[in-house]
Amino acid sequence: AQSVTQLGSHVSVSEGALVLLRCNYSSSVPPYLFWYVQYPNQGLQLLLKYTTGATLVKGINGFEAEFKKSETSFHLTKPSAHMSDAAEYFCAVSHSGTYKYIFGTGTRLKVLA
């Protein structure tokens, strides 16, 4: 069965500092991996996804993530945090042959001025 673990339910960074949000997955088949962002009382918006090909994926708002099969990880990074990045971030996994996505429990990012 697939699963997703997001280490750290809350992460705080200073404005301008590196953002690193961790995601580890468990899957017995090649995964499709996604990062979503959620602002308060809104739906989720896709930041980036990995399906096949290049393992470093660039998304919107300056975020990127690297698929590391050997580490079963898909960590999200951004070189310089902005106040507008404060939100909750969700990692999700799926795979060919299913219609379902499995989401992590989320990481709430706080950006300090």
* Residue ranges in contact with another protein by CB under 8 A: 9, 32, 34, 36, 41-46, 49, 51, 90, 94-96, 98-106
Between 40 and 113, name the residue whose CB sits nearer to another protein.
Answer: 40
With 0-12 / 13-18 / 19 or more C-beta atoms within 10 angstroms meaning exposed / middle / buried, residue 36 is: buried
Give the separation between CA 79 and CA 43, rounded to whole angstroms.
Answer: 25
Least distance in angstroms from the C-beta of 95 to another protein: 7
Between 18 and 29, name the residue whose CB sits nearer to another protein.
Answer: 29
Between 17 and 103, name the residue whose CB sits nearer to another protein.
Answer: 103
- Dihedral in degrees, nearest 10, Cα atoms 89, 42, 98, 9: 30
